[in-house]
Structure 1
Amino acid sequence: MGHTHLMTRAWRMAVLLGATAALAACEDGQGFDFLKKKDTAETDTAELVASADGETIEREVEAPEVFQANEDGLWDGRPSLGGVWVAYPGVKDPERVVIRNLTNDKTVIGALFRRERDNPGPKLQLSSDAAQTLGLVAGQPTKMSVVALRTEQVPVAQPAAVSELEGTESLPAPDAIEAQSLDPIDQARAALDKPAPEATPVAKPTPVAAAPVRQSSSLSKPYIQIGIFSVKDNADNTATSLRGIGIVPEVKQGSSQGKNFWRVVVGPSGSSSERATLLKKVKGLGFNDAYFVTN
């Protein structure tokens, strides 16, 4: 029993002496390098520049080389489906366009289609939604401008370096740390005698349900666009009517030149035959101007 007690005391003294040597090494500037503050300003600056390098954003610009028309437009006064659109003879493929009423400078984003037949009067034929948004009077020709839109990639501006972000005002100095003399033997003994804290149970993370995976498609244009709307309620009402007959649409919001618009699309279709069947069903509901789009 006495031998065991002597061995325990000898072990404690060895630990105390080791702690004393460690504390003495700290006072001489040796050891515990992890307590020293590292200079991270240069590293942070490099990370800021690297994170922005190569990033781009999309914006829409006018593309008159694709399509442009500056002439009278007409709304015949009849209601039409498909939201905001304009039709013009000779158009090859549907386009997204910006439509302007040059008499009052009102604009709207819509779709451009090929006019099926040439009737007497202005070549530009507008839908009822487009006419109401632009302030057209039924049966009255109005000077219009229609320009195609294209999406371009624009580099994201890199953040300024840390030295540029910092102002001329200097940061306040940190509070002074009061130095206190410590008895290394007493400190080591207190650390040995202090009971170890109980481990805190770690809460198990709540499982998150996986989001449904959208159907993949090899088609370049797997979606069908039902229409473009300048009023969200009109887009929602169109989507609701489609859901009532078993078609699941999606309302997508976009903006161009400061104007918001909402597109109603269905898809993606997994094959050409599936897409053709869906388009036939959509046109059978009266959406004759529906067409294939990328997304």
Structure 2
Amino acid sequence: MTRARIGWMVAVLATGLGLSGCGEGGRPFGGGGEGAAPVAEVSTRLVERDVEAPDVFSLTDQGLWDGRPSLGGVWVADASVTSPERVIIRNSGNGKFVIGALFRREREAPGPRVQVSSDAAAALGMLAGQPAALSVIALRREEVAPEVPAAAAAPAPVTGAPGTITATPLGDVTSTAAAAIAAAEAAPAAASTAAPARALTQAYVQIGIFSVEANANRAAEQIRAAGLGAVVKKESSHGKTFWRVIAGPAASAAERGPLLAKVKALGYADAYAVSN
């Protein structure tokens, strides 16, 4: 820091210390007294919500559950899929819907295009061996700022009558200014400290989405028995409740790779990384 800069800081600091309010409490302009309303703190934390993304994936066709139990919870599969997706699945015949996973169907088979898991069929009201018209649309998480209450949107008004500003003796300004200058000269060193590493965005691995809580808990216990962390998350959409099972978290991308490999080795071949 240059000497001119230091001198300017001393002058500003001295001027600030040399002024005080004559009103009760010593506050200039009479503001900030006991009658003043506190300024509300406005949260900047973003929240997430699901939005339909038909531009990512959208399909309306016949689906079929073959009647056999299937692993992985709520899911559908189609041969055109290039990567797993989180989707909303609707049964056009009865209006039922559920949120689940979309996977690639390994091979074409005669009959309806969309393969349906047993859990998905139960949630959609489908009977074994009976095709149903399904709509499958991809979902995306959208970050939005929470609504700010009107009282927090603007600063609280300043109350109290303006006071008169008078000069007062500076007192020990020299020592106070010297302390401020020392702190300012030390600031560049503090600013050079490296920022902490950014947290891993997708630190978890999703096992599956279940319409029955007991099935979700069994899947989580299987993951825990293998020495991995597992969490069952209860969620709802449009009045429907479902349970997601996720493993983790991983501290880094290097840890997430082995975590995903272990989960797939346990029989969840369609597991994929998620944020939470």
Pairwise same-fold verdict (TM > 0.5): yes
User: Is 1:71–2:61 an aligned residue pair?
Assistant: yes
Q: What does residue 150 of structure 1 align with? A: 140
- Which residue of 221, 224, 229 maps to 1:240? 221
Cα distance change, pair 160–217 in 1 and its aligned pair in 2 (3 A) = closer
Q: Which moved more, 1:239-248 or 1:119-128?
A: 239-248
TM-score of the superposition, structure 1-length normalised?
0.61
Q: What does residue 26 of structure 1 align with? A: none
Query: SS of the residue aligned with 2:150?
Result: coil
User: Is 1:228–2:224 an aligned residue pair?
Assistant: no
User: Is 1:290–2:252 an aligned residue pair?
Assistant: no
Report Cα offsets for 1:93-138 as digits up to 9, x if no partner. 2111111111111111101111111111122111100001111011
Report Cα offsets for 1:58-99 as digits up to 9, x if no partner. 211111111111111111111111110111122122111111
Determine which structure has greater relative contact order: mean sequence separation of CA pairs < 8 Å that are 6+ residues apart, divided by chain length.
Answer: 2
Q: Which has the larger radius of gyration?
A: 1
Query: SS of the residue aligned with 2:264?
Result: helix
Cα distance change, pair 152–269 in 1 and its aligned pair in 2 (3 A) = closer
How far off its partner does 1:245 sit? 3.3
Aligned runs of 1:26-175 on 2, under 5 Å? 38-40=34-36, 43-44=37-38, 47-48=39-40, 51-52=41-42, 54-161=44-151
Cα distance change, pair 86–38 in 1 and its aligned pair in 2 (3 A) = same
Measured on the aligned residues, the alpha-carbon RMSD in Å equals 3.0
Q: Which moved more, 1:151-160 or 1:217-226?
A: 217-226
How far off its partner does 1:143 sit? 0.6
Supply the AA of the counterpart residue of 1:144: L
Cα distance change, pair 159–279 in 1 and its aligned pair in 2 (3 A) = closer
Supply the AA of the counterpart residue of 1:155: A
CA distance in 2, matches of 1:158, 1:237: 41
Q: Residues 109 and 230 of structure 1 are in contact (CA less than 8 Å); yes or no, is this contact kept in structure 2?
A: no
Give aligned-pair identity as a percent.
53
Report Cα offsets for 1:179-230 as digits up to 9, x if no partner. xxxxxxxxxxxxxxxxxxxxxxxxxxxxxxxxxxxxx997654422111112
Report Cα offsets for 1:239-271 as digits up to 9, x if no partner. 112223333312223333443332211123356
How far off its partner does 1:276 sit? 4.1
Q: What does residue 255 of structure 1 align with? A: 236
Total equivalences in the alignment: 206
CA distance in 2, matches of 1:272, 1:157: 34
CA distance in 1, matches of 2:236, 2:50: 9
User: Which sections of structure 1, spanning at least 5 residues, go unmatched?
Assistant: 1-29, 163-215
